[in-house]
Amino acid sequence: MKPRLLLSALCLSLLFSPMPALAGDGHDHGDAPPVASGNGPKRQPDGSVFLPKPAQRQIGVRTLLVEPGELPRTHELAGKVVMDPNAGGKVQAIVAGRVTPGPRGLPLPGQQVKKGEVLAYVTPEVGGNSRSLAESRLRRLRELSDTVPRKLIEEAEAAVANEQLVAPVSGVIASANVVSGQVLEARETLFEIVNPERMLIEALAFDMAVASDVAGAFVAVGEQKLPLRLVGVARSLREQALPLTFRGEGGALAALAVGQPVRVFVQTRSTVPGIRVPMAALMKNPANQSIVWVKTAPERFEPRTVTAEPLDGTHVAVTSGLKAGDRVAVRAATLINQIR
């Protein structure tokens, strides 16, 4: 009897015990939330960011140890790229006529040309009858060369001869406004030639005191800063502003085009206490305040609200919000700012 009683008790316990839910049993038990990983990048309740070392290496985080110092006070001016009159020029027709290509054909924008190279020809007095009359007049004047002024013969020769349009300087064709067979008027501009490594930057200063206190100037070309040298200050206002002309030289100028707007950072002789920080480190928080990310622990970054002034186009001067010895994220700061 005892074995039978033990078997019955075991069956009853199995019958009334709760069974675990099996996948695909037809009952909807709801989607269980995924288990949060404590080792992934995340934003902390205090606003800081937890960023593990593997994630830092993956996104390429780099930090910079900053130190305070005296930095030049800088003004940001609106400017544009203009042609250097000593390194560029225009090709214009002296007489009206029809355009024919030069020995190498009509040059295209971006093509290299040399000084004195024939770019095109202009045939004056378009039309077969006019051409024949001009040639007949030239022959008649040459027969009467002993009695007519030399001036009339030269004018007749100019009317018949094709005018050669030559390049005034060596450089690159910046613009071409002509096609084969086009009829031109006198003094019409056909080509513009520039030297891409010698161009001028013109900036407008609305504060007259800036023009007399220029210690240096820079313009940002991509991730590079191009130093500029002040050439001259105009003595007449243009749109209530004083034009300042700067000269820049080097291969970085090849990335700029004539007429392109640029930002010119003019440094004065006065200084301001601050910390030099790359512009890539400057971010915006949800309140539209300027912040930088400071590394306070090996895997922790803290946002700091700062006040910054322009410096040289690639760096800014942080005047408040940082202290000596802070490690500021200067690379991948945008990715850190996006972590939620």
What are the pLDDT digits (tens) for 317-338? 999 999 999 999 999 999 999 9
**What pLDDT, on the 0 to 100 scale, is given for residue 26?**
42
Q: Is the distance from CB of 207 to CB of 268 less than 8 angstroms? A: no
**What pLDDT, on the 0 to 100 scale, is given for residue 37?**
52
**What pLDDT, on the 0 to 100 scale, is given for residue 159?**
67
pLDDT class of 302 with cuts at 50, 70, 90: very high
Please give the average per-residue pLDDT across 252-271, as a whole number: 89
Percent of the chain with pLDDT strictly greater than 90: 49
**What pLDDT, on the 0 to 100 scale, is given for residue 11?**
42
Stretch (H or E) spanning 65: strand 62-65
Strand, coil or helix: what is 59? helix
What are the pLDDT digits (tens) for 85-129? 898 999 998 878 888 898 889 999 999 999 999 899 888 754 545
For the chain, give the mean pLDDT: 83
Please give the average per-residue pLDDT across 24-39, as a whole number: 48
**What pLDDT, on the 0 to 100 scale, is given for residue 291?**
94
pLDDT above 80 (res 154): yes
Please give the average per-residue pLDDT across 204-226, as a whole number: 86
- Residue 143 DSSP label: H
pLDDT class of 246 with cuts at 50, 70, 90: very high
Q: Which of 242, 316, 311 is nearest to 78 (CA)?
A: 242
**What pLDDT, on the 0 to 100 scale, is given for residue 15?**
37
**What pLDDT, on the 0 to 100 scale, is given for residue 10?**
40
**What pLDDT, on the 0 to 100 scale, is given for residue 14?**
39
Q: Which two three-digit tokens encode residue 325?
A: 């010895």
**What pLDDT, on the 0 to 100 scale, is given for residue 94?**
83
What are the pLDDT digits (tens) for 124-152? 754 545 555 667 788 888 888 888 888 88
Instruction: State pTM to two decimals.
Output: 0.71
**What pLDDT, on the 0 to 100 scale, is given for residue 38?**
61
Q: Which of 254, 261, 285, 118 is nearest to 191 (CA)?
A: 118
Please give the average per-residue pLDDT across 177-181, as a whole number: 90
| CA quadruple 33, 38, 41, 42: dihedral sign | positive
* Angstrom distance (rounded) from CA 262 to CA 243: 14
Longest CA pairwise span in the chain (Å): 158
* Angstrom distance (rounded) from CA 44 to CA 244: 50
How far out from the chain centre does Cα 312 lie? 15
**What pLDDT, on the 0 to 100 scale, is given for residue 161?**
67
**What pLDDT, on the 0 to 100 scale, is given for residue 164?**
82
Stretch (H or E) spanning 291: strand 290-297
* Angstrom distance (rounded) from CA 238 to CA 319: 33
**What pLDDT, on the 0 to 100 scale, is given for residue 8?**
44
Lowest mean pLDDT among 5-19, 99-113, 231-245: 5-19
- Amino acid of residue 239: E
What are the pLDDT digits (tens) for 273-286? 999 999 999 999 99
Please give the average per-residue pLDDT across 148-162, as a whole number: 78
**What pLDDT, on the 0 to 100 scale, is given for residue 332?**
92
pLDDT above 60 (res 32): no
Q: Which two three-digit tokens encode residue 141?
A: 């004047």
